[in-house]
Structure 1
């Protein structure tokens, strides 16, 4: 799921492997018009979950917490 939060663009997703879903997120700082966004943080695998929806929700929560702590 891709969405904007504060000055960031977040791509929260999951990787399915062996019946488990691994949460992960990429965070980009939104740039001024005409410039490309640039990646500022890659979560790696955050944890494994029983469903893709649970994994994406965990990735979203992690990304929002990271943005709140690093918004300066």
Structure 2
């Protein structure tokens, strides 16, 4: 799942490994008019979950907290 939050673009697509879903997030600074989005943070695995929805929810929570801590 991808969404914009504050000045960031967030991708919370989980990794599916044998029926377990690993929460992870990539956070990008949203692009300026002159350039592409630049990745600023990759979470790594944030835990495994029984469903993709649970993994996405966990990654979204982590990403929003990370962005809130770094927004001006």
Which of the five TM-score ranges fits, normalised by the shorter chain? over 0.9
> Where in structure 2 are there 5+ consecutive unaligned residues?
none
Deviations for 1:12-61, whole angstroms, at most 9, x for unmatched residues?
11111121110000000012113101000000000100000000111111
Q: SS at the partner of 1:64?
A: helix
What is the TM-score when the length of structure 1 is the normalising length? 0.94
What is the TM-score when the length of structure 2 is the normalising length? 0.94
Q: Which residue of the partner structure matches residue 14 of structure 2?
A: 14
d(CA) in 1 for partners of 2:19 and 2:32? 41
User: What CA RMSD, in Å, does the superposition of the two structures yield over aligned residues?
Assistant: 0.8
Q: Which has the higher strand share?
A: 1
Size of the aligned set, in residue pairs, is 72
Q: Which residue of the partner structure matches residue 23 of structure 2?
A: 23
d(CA) in 2 for partners of 1:7 and 1:66? 12
